[in-house]
Structure 1
Amino acid sequence: MKQDLIESQIQLRKQELTLKINELILGERKRFIQQYGKYESVDYRTVANQTLTDVQIEQHLAGSMTLGCFYKGSHSKFLVFDIDVKDPAVPLGLIQLIKNYGFQAEDIHLEESGTKGWHLWLFFQTPIRIELLVSFGDFIRTQLGVSKTNIELRPEKPSNSRRHQAPFRDSS
């Protein structure tokens, strides 16, 4: 029931969400990733010979494909905690800790990442140096007492960023 409500809101606001993905998440359009397979056999392939279009982003939001991106540059408008633990206590503890450091509930966005866990997104009005975001993320992980393998950061460094799945689609 709740998932149906979320899905209907995604579909009603597809154009608005496409604009926000363009504004806050996409760092590079000439190289992106596309998911193939399902469940345990999920794989992503880099697409480097075409430009990512708004139509493809809308297809991602519609659920007909799952896309991801690479971040480019030294600044970012987002930080993602990629939580590879299924236990909901981990993201809930992370949310509480982040709130304790001044973030408002409306600035914290949690979604299931599919079979492995969760993505917790923080968005910012202006770009922030990736080094500062990583330092903050490392501090939060230390405070939470979790390993870097259980919670990874995206972006994790300013150059040669690793791919990251775009929001609103799990990898199952």
Structure 2
Amino acid sequence: ALVIVNGHFGNQAPLEQAQACIGLAPLAHSAGPMRGINRVASLLLNGDTGTVRGMLAGMDRARQQPDAPVPTPESAVGEALVRVAIGDTTGALAVVRRALDALPVQSPRVFLSEVSMGAIGRSMLLAATWSARDDAPQARRWLSSVEALWAHADAPLRAEVARVRQLVESDGAP
């Protein structure tokens, strides 16, 4: 599964911004300086949940400002994974939904980037998964979107979509 590991663009090539992985370790061990969500993931893996919670709370406060930037699809996925790891599925869902809801106002270059498109699909899949139990209309909305986006994707991605479809159809029951 493609998980975006870098929430900033900087001078890094797209391949440095994405890695095939499961879990948080690649977030914390990505190439380049430890910034943003990469630093938060590193702190979490080192057991510093207090600092992680404080940093995430600071991010939440910053987002309440009128001129707050919308999270990129890449940073939303990384932050969502960290939030789920500390038990904040509600916060994780809010982050990916905010990024997805902002797609109509994103720069067109977001849709030309393989990294961003992978993160958009992953965000839709996560939103469908986390909405399945409590918000069936939202779960179906994001499932339908990722099914369209990944209709011709590689078999492992289609298998993930099928797994989430089964979850959504069972109203979130495992």
Give the alignment's TM-score, normalised by structure 1: 0.28
Give the alignment's TM-score, normalised by structure 2: 0.28
**Which one has the bigger helix percentage?**
2
Q: Which has the higher contact order (CA 8 A, sep 6+)?
A: 1
